[in-house]
Structure 1
Amino acid sequence: MILTPNDGLPVPQRYGAILAIALGITVSVLDGAIANVALPTIARDLNASPASYIWVVNAYQLAITISLLSLASLGDIFGYRRIYQTGLLVFSITSLFCALSDSLTTLTIARILQGFGAAAIMSVNTALIRIIYPQRFLGRGMGINALIVAVSSAAGPTVAAGILSFASWQWLFAINLPIGLAALALGLKFLPANSTKSQGQKFDFTSSVMNALTFGLLIIAISGFAQGQNRMLILGEVVALLIIGWFFVRRQLSRPFPLLLVDLLRIPIFALSLGTSLCSFSAQMLAFVSLPFFLQNTLGLDSVSTGLLLTPWPLATMVMAPIAGRLVERYHPGMLGGLGLIVFSFGLYSLPLLPQDPSNLNIIWRMLLCGAGFGLFQSPNNHTIITAAPRNRSGGASGLLGTARLLGQTTGAAMVALMFNLFPAHGTHASLILAGTLAGTGAIVSFLRMTQQTSSQKEAAEKS
């Protein structure tokens, strides 16, 4: 059967394809979080200093950030399925290398390669969902994707603690191999090829290098600031970032198929949606990093109680994200995203107002608000970003969406360090208030999108 670009896959194949996407995204996102819990154990086993073992985490995140847009461009040229499957294979093999590493150097190299595999998975996953689901049901696919990303991010520490309770740290990486290979097998059978590919587009190696330098320097500068590195070194990194970034953007403005989608950033609803994504993920990371300190140091809870009380957040997101994916078929995503971020902001603002000895229920309903608000926002926002781009450039939009998420998370983590430096006695309160403010700002930006037509509204207007 020949499918038109808007038809999607028939139902049996659609389920297999979305399962292949779900497994790949779960392991790639989860792996960015689970290593944090094992860092002290890894450092002890490999005789590494605290300053050096942090690269077990940083190397993975940095590799993803600098390569996302380049791999998304390759997806537009060679096909999303091919890039996704290559990423799964690389990720699975390098996970085994991580598990077999006997020194910090080999583990760091393996994590860099693993990050490139994860970037290939993340760069085209939403582009594939656009092919898998019919246009009228695309919001549902985005809802499932948002659910997987949110829950995988939040559940990382819990999953890591569970594995480490009965196995060594090597199993945190080894467990990826069977899951990755299962996703690869499902992908070979069920994932569709691109219905349309960019004609005449060639890979821009120069832009790829400039992109890696620009985003790499940005992440290193933000992380260095958060870790209190030498200010002159950070200043040098920022100067180099501004110079290279300026030439990078200028080059993109002159390219017919830019790596950084500057032409799509001129579309108001696309740019506003990326802005809300940056605000929301910064707010989310501010909360995720500061809440454990708040619950344990301020409220005096133990680590087990902290983990249990944080669980309602991802559970609420799990429930709300698919619902929001269906609501976007009826209501403007700007309204849904704005309402979600208002609820998210209210939940964040309510956490510092907890009494000195709160009941569990008093904490749980606040966590539920945060999770439900974030779930209501994310699915419609992702839907808007991916559908605002032409179908043959879905890979670029998918890569930019992932880049915005990573930059937001990195910025949020750095802001926590800044709040603790500025307000040593009240760093957790300041972080949560800043998170609520960012979510509120994102809500305003989201409501501004209501003045813009969505892609489906434009198609309906053209038909009439």
Structure 2
Amino acid sequence: MQERLQGYSYYKWLIFGVVGTGTFMSTLTASIVNVALPPITTALHSNIATAQWVVTAYLLVITSLLPLMGRLGDVLGRSKLFGYGFAGFTAASLLCGTASSIGMLTAFRVLQAIGASVLMANAMAIVTSFFPPNERGKVLGMIGTIVALGSLCGPGLGGLLVEAFDWHAIFFVNIPVGVLGYAGARLILPVDRERRQETIDYLGAALFAAGMASLLLALNNGTEWGWLSLMTLGCILFSLVLFVLFIRYEKRVAQPMLELSIFKNRDFSTGNLAGLLSFMAMFSSSLLVPYFLHDIMAFSPGKIGLIMSAFPLVMAVVAPLSGMLSDKVGPVALTTSGLGVLAAGLVITANLQAGSGLWLILASQALMGLGNGLFQSPNNNSVMSAVEPRQLGVAGGINALARNFGMVCGTALAVAILEHQRMVSLSGLSQPTPAQQAAAFMDGYQAALFVGAGLAVAGMLISCKRAGKTVSGQ
């Protein structure tokens, strides 16, 4: 099948279609469950604290496994592994839909996350391998758009499925798409070259995964546990110890999971750091703006959804255009200006008030979408073009790791700032009035978004330091 297709000019776009399907599924499933948690909690006779692990476990496992899955793709073959990722993800989705207890559902979500981590880690590597350098920015921009759309469409689609059917539908909807994706991976993706004669550093992978899981656990639960609580500090300290052991071990092992020398590449390091800061900045607003629109503006859920859609819609238009432009002019100007526009959008969003006009609210969301669209595609192009072909899987895994970790850190930071500022504003008030509570929320909301804008500015300063070069042969 592959031999017959490879002679056609559209063959690379068939490859893109398979990769895009896996990317959309894995990112959609990360957010689609949130809206279904209340009915899941009731149906499976659980409570909110326990049911939250259905979401948390998926996030922890994916983020912890991304570098390993990228490395496995480099060694074992990306096309083969991508097919396995589809199969595992689809089978786990079926199991999730048939779960009869919250414990079973959480365990099956872990299996689903393993499959999703394979898809996420190897998507950009496959695309980078099969598209020429002069088209890479465009297609990576389209992948970035798919990531954003998958993440932002999840709650809306989940709500429709739960309302029309029940909570099982949010998992069963993956099955036909997953079967189609698996067939595409087997029939369309090129057969991998002969396996590289290298060993897999499973001990290094275990140290990294455990350290990352412990750190994410602290970030996810820091507000609930208390940031200075024994549990939070213990998780952070444990993660730091594991990361130190991981680095020391990786320097000694002959074939490490992660070649630390890859971070000496300035374009690779600055691109990932800027990407991390961009997602931290973006997710400082994505969690809080819906609360502002609902609690302060008194908008309906439908209206809030329409307003929030301005961000992904503008990004969906801008990201491919920005990627194509980066193929011609390089990444530096686009990434730097994109983060500057994102920062401006966050400042405008932070200054919204109860009397702000709808046009200004929409404009602030559109401006953030514009900034993110300008930044993400050239940045991904810069990161993936900065490494050698044999390192593309690991590079894609680290790029996805920076994205996921930025989402978690941005959300945790925004919630922590919001809660701290609210406590400060309400201190001394034993029975605050609704107006005082609203004012306290606005104090925390503005502080969190101003910090998000500061993170975008920091990313902008880092981004302008990249050299904007590609590795020879790519």
Same fold (TM over 0.5): yes
Distance 1:459 1:260, change over 3 A: closer
Tell me which amino acid in the other structure corresponds to 2:454: T
Q: TM-score, normalised by structure 2?
A: 0.92
Partner of 1:328: 326
Q: How does 1:402-417 map to 2 (within 5 A)?
A: 402-417=400-415
Aligned to 2:444: 427
- Deviation per CA, 1:172-198: give whole Å up to 9, x if none: 01000001111111121211244686x
**What residue in structure 2 maps to residue 118 of structure 1?**
116
| CA–CA distance in structure 2, aligned partners of residues 261 and 150 of structure 1 | 29
Q: 1:113 to 1:400 in 2, by over 3 A?
A: same
Contact 2:331 2:468 in 1 (8 A): no
Conservation of the 8 A alpha-carbon contact between 2:332 and 2:468: no
1:189 corresponds to? 187
- Given that residues 80 and 193 in structure 1 are in contact (C-alpha distance below 8 angstroms), is that contact kept between their aligned partners in structure 2? no
Question: What residue is the counterpart of 1:217 in the other structure?
Answer: 214
2:200 is matched by which residue type in structure 1? Answer: F
1:298 aligns with 2:296: yes
- Letter of the structure 2 residue corresponding to residue 258 of structure 1: P
Which 5+ residue runs of structure 1 have no aligned equivalent? none
Cα RMSD, aligned residues only: 2.0
1:228 to 208, 225, 230: 225
One-letter amino acid of the structure 2 residue matched with residue 84 of structure 1: F
1:363 aligned to which of 352, 361, 364 = 361
State the match for 2:461 in structure 1. 444
**In 1, distance between residues paired with 2:45 and 2:158?**
21
C-alpha contact 2:219 2:408 (8 A) present in aligned 1 = yes
Alignment of 1:57-136 (within 5 A): 57-136=55-134
Residue 75 of structure 1: how far off its partner (Å): 0.6
Listed one character per residue, the Cα deviations across residues 240-284 of structure 1 (whole Å, up to 9, x for unaligned) are 112111010111223444323411101111111111011001111
Q: Distance in 2 between matches of 1:402 and 1:194?
A: 22
Q: Which residue number in structure 1 is paired with residue 469 of structure 2?
A: 454
CA contact (8 A) 1:270 1:385 kept: yes
2:426 is matched with: none
Question: Sequence identity, in percent?
Answer: 27
Q: Corresponding residue for 1:157?
A: 155
Deviations 1:72-100 (A, max 9, x none): 11111110011111010000011011111
Which residue in the other structure is 1:14 paired with? Answer: 12
* Distance (Å, rounded) in 1 between the aligned partners of 2:152 and 2:469: 30
* CA offsets 1:264-319 (integer angstroms, 9 cap, x no match): 10111111111101100111111111111111112222211111110110000100
Cα deviation per residue 1:142-164 (whole Å; 9 max; x = unaligned)?
Answer: 01111100111111111112222
Residue 439 of structure 1: SS of its match in structure 2? helix
- Are 2:393 and 1:378 equivalent residues in the alignment? no
Summarize deviations over 1:117-146 as a string: whole Å, max 9, x none.
000111110000012212221111101111
Secondary structure of the residue aligned to 1:201 is coil
Asked if 1 retains the 8 angstrom alpha-carbon contact of 2:200 and 2:256, the reply is no
What is the CA distance between 1:37 and its match in structure 2?
0.8
Give matches, 1:254-293, under 5 Å.
Answer: 254-293=252-291
Separation (CA, whole Å) in 2 of partners of 1:9 and 1:440: 46
C-alpha spacing 1:442/1:215, structure 2 compared with 1 (3 Å): same
Amino acid at match of 2:217: I
TM-aligned CA distance change 1:453 to 1:347, over 3 Å: closer
Letter in 2 for 1:447: C
Counterpart of 1:63 in structure 2: which amino acid? V
Select which of 239, 243, 246 maps to 2:241: 243
Which stretch of the first structure deviates more once superposed, 257-266 or 169-178?
257-266
Unaligned segments of structure 2, at least 5 residues = 423-439
TM-score by length of 1: 0.93
| AA in 1 matched with 2:141 | G
One-letter amino acid of the structure 2 residue matched with residue 23 of structure 1: T
CA contact (8 A) 2:280 2:410 kept: yes
SS at match of 1:263: helix
Quickly say closer, same or farther: Cα 1:158–1:168, change in 2 above 3 A. same
Residue identity in the other structure for 1:273:
G
